[in-house]
């Protein structure tokens, strides 16, 4: 750091403000000038019409199957991937003191293998397709989803339904996941 000599930088002999203006840009802001971060926007919200942008998004089609399952779908002609998901109304909002955390716990445990696939087999099968398998729990819902190439929709749906319908609830895996979730809860506190 350069020493100050009577309000000037000792090395250049210039007033401090001048050196700072050169160091940080030619249009440096001094006290009393307008904030440079507000040069292109305002802190006062303005009404913006998003209709032109929204009209370019695909329409979401919701179909109800005979068993009551609702399927939402969108067609994006410029993509080669598909996201398959199951959203279950079982978020934290629906839990009681006795069942608090159950949805989040199940979200974790369902990925620990099925009757047909071990954890490793699940991971390898999804990776070999170039896909992703994930889940999250929110206040309203728990979602399980797979992102796969369009040609692998059948495989992705098979894996997703296998996880949801045929998961192994191994006692060792349950105890390991309990520890994982307790650590996550401690991190949030």
Cα distances (Å, whole numbers) of residue 10 to 7, 17, 183: 9, 13, 54
**Exposed/middle/buried for residue 28 (C-beta within 10 Å: 0-12, 13-18, 19+):** middle
Q: Round to whole Å and give the CA distance between 25 and 19.
A: 10
Residue 109 has pLDDT above 50, yes or no: yes
Tokens describing residue 158: 């098979």
Identify the DSSP state of 36.
Answer: G
The pLDDT of residue 3: 47
For the chain, give the percent of residues with pLDDT over 70. 77
Return the percentage of the chain with pLDDT > 90, whole number. Answer: 26
The mean pLDDT of 145-158, rounded to a whole number, is: 92
Check pLDDT > 60 for residue 21.
no
pTM over 0.75: no
What local confidence, expressed as pLDDT, does residue 158 receive?
93
What pLDDT does 121 receive? 95
Bridge pairing between strands 81-88 and 132-137? unpaired
Mean pLDDT over residues 22-44, rounded?
55
Confidence of residue 90 (pLDDT cuts 50, 70, 90): confident
For the annotated catalytic residues, the residue numbers are: 107, 177
Q: Which range is most confident: 9-18, 100-109, 115-124?
A: 115-124
Mean pLDDT, rounded, of the chain: 79
Which residue ranges form the domains of the chain, and what is each CATH number?
Answer: 4-38 (no CATH), 55-188 (3.30.830.10)
Q: What is the pLDDT of residue 2?
A: 45
């Amino acid at each position: 750091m350069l020493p100050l000599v009577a309000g000037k930088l000792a090395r250049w002999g210039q007033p401090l403000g001048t050196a700072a203006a050169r160091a940080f840009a030619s249009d440096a802001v001094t006290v009393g000038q307008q904030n440079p971060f507000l040069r292109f926007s305002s802190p006062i919200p303005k009404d913006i019409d998003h209709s032109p942008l929204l009209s370019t998004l695909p329409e979401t089609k919701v179909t109800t199957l005979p068993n009551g399952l609702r399927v939402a779908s969108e067609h994006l002609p410029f993509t080669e991937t598909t996201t398959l998901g199951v959203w279950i109304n079982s978020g934290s909002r629906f839990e009681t003191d006795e069942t608090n955390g159950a949805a989040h716990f199940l979200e974790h445990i369902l990925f620990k293998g099925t009757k047909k696939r071990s954890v490793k087999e699940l991971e390898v099968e999804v990776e070999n397709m170039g896909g992703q398998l994930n889940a999250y729990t929110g206040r309203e819902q728990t979602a399980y989803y797979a992102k796969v190439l369009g040609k692998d929709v059948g495989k992705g749906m098979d894996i997703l339904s296998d996880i949801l319908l045929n998961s192994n609830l191994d006692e060792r895996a349950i105890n390991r996941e309990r520890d994982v979730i307790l650590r996550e809860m401690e991190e949030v506190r």
